[in-house]
Amino acid sequence: MSDSFKVALAGLGTVGGGVAKLLTEQRDVLLKRCGRPIELIAAADKNQARFDELGLPSSVGRFDDAREMAEKTSADVIIELIGGANGIAYDICLTALKRGKGFITANKAMIAHHGNDLAALAEEKGVFFGYEAAVAGGIPIIKSLREGLIGNKISEIYGILNGTCNYILTVMRETGKPFDVVLAEAQKLGYAEADPSFDIDGIDTAHKTCILGALAFGMPISLDMMSIEGIRFISDADIAFAEELGFRIKLLGVGRRYENGVSLNVYPCMIPQTAEIAHVDGVFNAVITEGDFVGHSMFVGRGAGERPTASAVVADIADAVMHRGSPVLSVANKEVKQLPVVPLSEREGEYYVRFDVCDRSGVVADISRILGDENVSIASMLQRERAAGDFVPLIMTFHKSKESSVLSALKKIEHLECVVNKPCMIRIERL
């Protein structure tokens, strides 16, 4: 039998435990497909009880300090499943690469913040660097972009990249419950963290979107170029109005290539109920690409969890075993080029806006006058009976307009005496 391919694992939490289980349970399958046995020779976790809970054999070296493991292990590849953009995860990565070890991670925050430098170091050292599990869990989107779509120029990539947000928006639509109530329920079920900011404010989606954008467009990973919005401001009323208008609300990461540059942004948007991605519900993720030769491609699956994420990690291990590594950012480091950024203010598209207004005559006329002054044209309008407070919701959709003009109009409208709260604006994307 061929010599085994040796791996060391930092972090035996949910995903790390899943990787250990998969390597054991699928040992024979992996041997047949990879041509070499894959052997876990070391693992690190502060909770030493995890070794026994997972039934790891005595042959697996036990460490409570992942840095020490990274410095001492003889493994061919070191796997980091601890998380965090900096700190111990980053230290382990640098140690592995500088030692000439292959490196695999599910850490989207670290890739989003340090991916360019890490890609350069991995290339310099000539070692494998895998991060399939960093974006969309079990969906093989990194491999698809780097390999399956290698012959295509990608013009557009967008997707549902955060299961927590998708679950909340789905339950709000299905039950009519308000955001705060559904968020609390999601926390009890374990779908949302005690501090959910990372998810519901769009940061997690932004990390994944900037990685996908870099791969799709051959550019550096750059969080700085992005506009990021979350879902805190989405109300149950907006969900209901979207349904009435033939839309569904989803939090999307959206990347587009234009003649004059690229845009990468995260925001909730209304998409037609006829769109494929409108029916991706619950904790599922989806990514859609548009390639000049292949056309429209859609990838759907579980974006998190022990088994789907472990599956993605082990796919990277298999690539390392068989020397199937691709350039970290799809192209050699010298070919990665910064592209001009098209700001979100330049977007031209349709919009939904909810105004909370006083129930009196002349309100629509005042709002319409300001919109007209900014060259924003009303496409439709809905008005409902008085809400819980001393106001009524006035719903408008706008024809295709420039975002800077829409924002300028809303800023002026917000200061009208008849407008009670800040207007709620949601972009419409006809995907």
Residues recorded for the chain = 431
Give yes or no for residue 384 having a pLDDT over 80. no
What region does 272 belong to: left with phi over 0, alpha with psi -120 to 50, or beta?
A: beta
pLDDT in tens, 48-63: 999 999 999 999 999 9
Residue 29 has pLDDT above 80, yes or no: yes
208 part of the active site = yes
pLDDT at position 389: 63
Domains, the chain: 5-130 (3.40.50.720), 141-302+328-335 (3.30.360.10), 348-428 (3.30.70.260)
Residue 325 has pLDDT above 90, yes or no: no
**pLDDT at site 2:** 59
Catalytic residue among 101, 108, 143, 208: 208
Radius of gyration of the chain (CA): 24
Residue 95 in tokens: 């140690």
Mean pLDDT value of segment 404-418? 96
* Alpha-carbon span 15 to 316, nearest angstrom: 14
With a pLDDT cut of 90, the percent of the chain lying above it is: 91
Q: Are 391 and 420 in contact (CB under 8 A)?
A: yes
Indicate if the pLDDT at residue 367 is higher than 80.
yes
Three-state SS string over the chain comes to: CCCCEEEEEECCCHHHHHHHHHHHHCHHHHHHHHCCCEEEEEEECCCCHHHHHCCCCCCCEEECCHHHHHHHCCCCEEEECCCCCCHHHHHHHHHHHHCCCEEEECCHHHHHHHHHHHHHHHHHHCCCEECHHHCCCCCCHHHHHHHHCCCCCEEEEEEECCHHHHHHHHHHHHHCCCHHHHHHHHHHHCCCCCCCHHHHCCHHHHHHHHHHHHHHHCCCCCCCCCEECCCCCCCHHHHHHHHHCCEEEEEEEEEEEECCEEEEEEEEEEEECCCHHHHCCCCEEEEEEEECCCEEEEEEEECCCHHHHHHHHHHHHHHHHCCCCCCCECECHHHCCCCCECCHHHCEEEEEEEEEECCCCCHHHHHHHHHHHCCCCEEEEEECCCCCCCCEEEEEEEEEEEHHHHHHHHHHHHCCCCECCCCEEEEECCC
Would you say residue 390 has pLDDT above 80? no
Listed in sequence order, the residues at least 6 apart from 118 whose beta carbon sits closer than 8 Å to its beta carbon are 93, 97, 110, 111, 129, 328
Backbone angles phi, psi at 198, to 5 degrees: -55, -40
How is residue 125 written in tokens? 């050292």
Region of poorest pLDDT, from 158-172, 232-246, 279-293, 384-398:
384-398
Predicted confidence at residue 1, as pLDDT, reads: 43
What pLDDT, in 10s, does the model give residues 67-79? 999 999 999 999 9
Averaged pLDDT for residues 36-41: 97
Note the pLDDT of residue 386. Answer: 61
pLDDT tens-digit series, residues 96-133: 999 999 999 999 999 999 999 999 999 999 999 999 99
**Across-strand partners of 184?**
none
